[in-house]
């Protein structure tokens, strides 16, 4: 008995057709459908930010190190300032039984003004160190930013401080170059909004460029608030571009800061909303946590020194969340 199939069936089988209608699609169309389903399944930007918060919280050794750094660095100014206050204000009899640490919450403002006048150049010389500490903090902050991004993309299974510092060291100098490129951008933005260009625009909108001379107080206030909001938005946009450039450096293990900034600008044009949500929502959550922790401290009547630990903790958690979320989102969006 012959088992030979009809020629029509052989031709159909060779063309890989099937009785199921979905199976007869062309390979190109099937590939397009697969890509669309992958894109639709890609988590949103809020998901990356929430994941970044948990990513930072489950690394207590890194957070403890960062908090220790935040507490030790200000001691360069705090210790001599405390000693000076202890010498000059310890004889105050209006605050019996209280230490110098309680003065900021209980002493009147005029006492500090008088103290500043009587101390002469001593407080000035101590405060002159603060700009150097701010500069040092900014530079070391680049190491920490690189550490968060590297751990989020290349050392995600690591929880040690060693991996954090190793990842930060690998991209520190490219990050430093992006920081140097960002400084003139921030300066130019400040000049545009608060320098001659802004004054020229205000002269066109208000008499003599003075909000007090506007047609109405509401108009003058609205113009001033609008300028401040636009200025903050411009600074935020620069911050986002720099963060994306750093994410490009870390994810692709690159070294060119200029090319990274160009890639960041192109990425921001392609996906402006998602990255704005990650960064802006991160700042909003951080501000809410800071105000919430201060409200909790007042409610529970904790001493002022509690803020020394609460506020750095919130800042480091949210900074780690933003940095890791930006790097994760950049890698997921670019497929690198």
The two tokens of residue 54 are 């948990």
Q: Alpha carbon 133 to chain centroid distance?
A: 20
What average pLDDT does this structure show over 117-136? Answer: 78
For the entire predicted model, the pTM comes to 0.77
Q: What is the pLDDT of residue 315?
A: 92
CA distances from 232 to 127, 140, 184, 186, 283 (A): 27, 24, 16, 11, 12
Q: What is the pLDDT of residue 197?
A: 84
* pLDDT, tens digit, 9 for 90 and up, residues 197-224: 888 877 777 665 566 666 667 777 787 8
Of residues 152, 140, 146, 135, the one with CA closest to residue 175: 146
Q: What is the pLDDT of residue 106?
A: 60
The two tokens of residue 67 are 């908090």
The two tokens of residue 167 are 């990842």
The two tokens of residue 44 are 């949103």
> What is the C-alpha R_g of the chain?
29
Place of tokens 């405060």: 127
CA distances from 63 to 161, 210, 317 (A): 9, 47, 7
Residue 193 contacts residue 230 (beta carbons within 8 Å):
yes
Residue 81 contacts residue 92 (beta carbons within 8 Å):
no
Listed in sequence order, the residues at least 6 apart from 8 whose beta carbon sits closer than 8 Å to its beta carbon are none
For residues 107 and 23, the model is more confident at 107
Ranges assigned E (strand) in the chain:
none
Among 2-16, 28-42, 229-243, 249-263, the minimum mean pLDDT is found in 28-42
Place of tokens 């002469």: 120
Among 11-25, 136-150, 302-316, the minimum mean pLDDT is found in 11-25
* pLDDT, tens digit, 9 for 90 and up, residues 301-324: 887 778 888 889 999 999 999 999
Find the helix packing angle between 272-300 and 45-57, rounded to 10°.
40
Listed in sequence order, the residues at least 6 apart from 289 whose beta carbon sits closer than 8 Å to its beta carbon are 314, 318
Q: What is the pLDDT of residue 17?
A: 38
Q: Which residues of 17-38 are buried (b: 16+ CB within 10 A; e: fewer)?
A: eeeeeeeeeeeeeeeeeeeeee
Of residues 139, 218, 167, the one with CA closest to residue 62: 167
* pLDDT, tens digit, 9 for 90 and up, residues 225-267: 888 899 999 999 999 999 999 999 999 999 899 999 999 999 9
Instruction: Give the integer Cα–Cα distance in Å for 252 and 310.
Output: 35
Q: What is the pLDDT of residue 335?
A: 84
Neighbours of 138 (CB within 10 A): 11
Residue 289 contacts residue 314 (beta carbons within 8 Å):
yes
Residue 320 contacts residue 55 (beta carbons within 8 Å):
yes
Q: What is the pLDDT of residue 124?
A: 73
The dihedrals phi and psi of 272, each to the nearest 5 degrees, come to: -70, -40
Residue 207 contacts residue 213 (beta carbons within 8 Å):
yes
Would you give the end-to-end CA distance of the chain in angstroms?
60
* pLDDT, tens digit, 9 for 90 and up, residues 46-104: 899 999 999 999 999 999 999 999 888 888 887 887 777 777 666 554 554 555 556 66
Percentage of residues of the chain with pLDDT beyond 90: 44
The two tokens of residue 155 are 């050392």
What average pLDDT does this structure show over 141-149? Answer: 95
Listed in sequence order, the residues at least 6 apart from 65 whose beta carbon sits closer than 8 Å to its beta carbon are 161, 164
Whether 26 has a pLDDT exceeding 50, the answer reads no
Domain boundaries, the chain: 46-73+132-334
Q: What is the pLDDT of residue 2?
A: 46
Helix spans in 73-108 (H)? 75-89, 103-106
């Amino acid at each position: 008995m012959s088992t030979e199939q009809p020629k029509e069936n052989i031709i159909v089988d060779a063309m890989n057709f099937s009785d199921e209608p979905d199976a007869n699609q062309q390979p190109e169309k099937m590939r397009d459908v697969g890509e669309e389903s992958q894109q639709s399944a890609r988590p949103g930007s809020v998901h990356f930010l929430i994941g970044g918060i948990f990513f930072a919280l489950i690394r207590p050794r890194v957070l403890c190190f960062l908090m220790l750094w935040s507490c030790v660095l200000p001691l360069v100014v705090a210790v001599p300032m405390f000693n000076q206050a202890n010498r000059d204000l310890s004889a105050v009899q209006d605050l019996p039984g209280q230490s110098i640490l309680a003065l900021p919450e209980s002493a009147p403002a005029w006492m500090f003004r008088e103290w500043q006048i009587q101390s002469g150049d001593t407080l000035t010389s101590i405060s002159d160190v603060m700009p150097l500490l701010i500069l040092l903090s900014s530079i070391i902050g680049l190491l920490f930013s690189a550490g968060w991004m590297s751990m989020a993309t290349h050392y995600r299974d690591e929880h040690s401080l060693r991996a954090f510092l190793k990842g930060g060291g690998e991209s520190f100098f490219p990050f430093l170059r992006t920081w140097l490129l960002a400084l003139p951008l921030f300066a130019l933005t400040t000049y545009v909004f608060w320098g001659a260009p802004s004054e020229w625009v205000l002269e066109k909108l208000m008499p003599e460029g003075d909000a007090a001379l506007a047609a109405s107080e509401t108009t003058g206030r609205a113009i001033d608030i609008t300028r401040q909001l636009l200025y903050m938005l411009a600074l935020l946009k620069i911050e986002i571009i720099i963060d994306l450039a750093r994410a490009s450096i870390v994810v692709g293990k690159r070294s060119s800061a200029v090319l990274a900034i160009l890639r960041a600008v192109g990425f921001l044009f392609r996906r402006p909303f998602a990255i704005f949500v990650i960064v802006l929502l991160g700042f909003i959550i951080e501000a809410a946590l800071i105000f919430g922790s201060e409200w909790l401290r007042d409610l529970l009547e904790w001493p002022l020194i509690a803020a020394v630990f609460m506020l750095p903790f919130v800042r480091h958690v949210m900074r780690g969340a933003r940095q890791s979320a930006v790097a994760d989102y950049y890698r997921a969006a670019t497929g690198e």
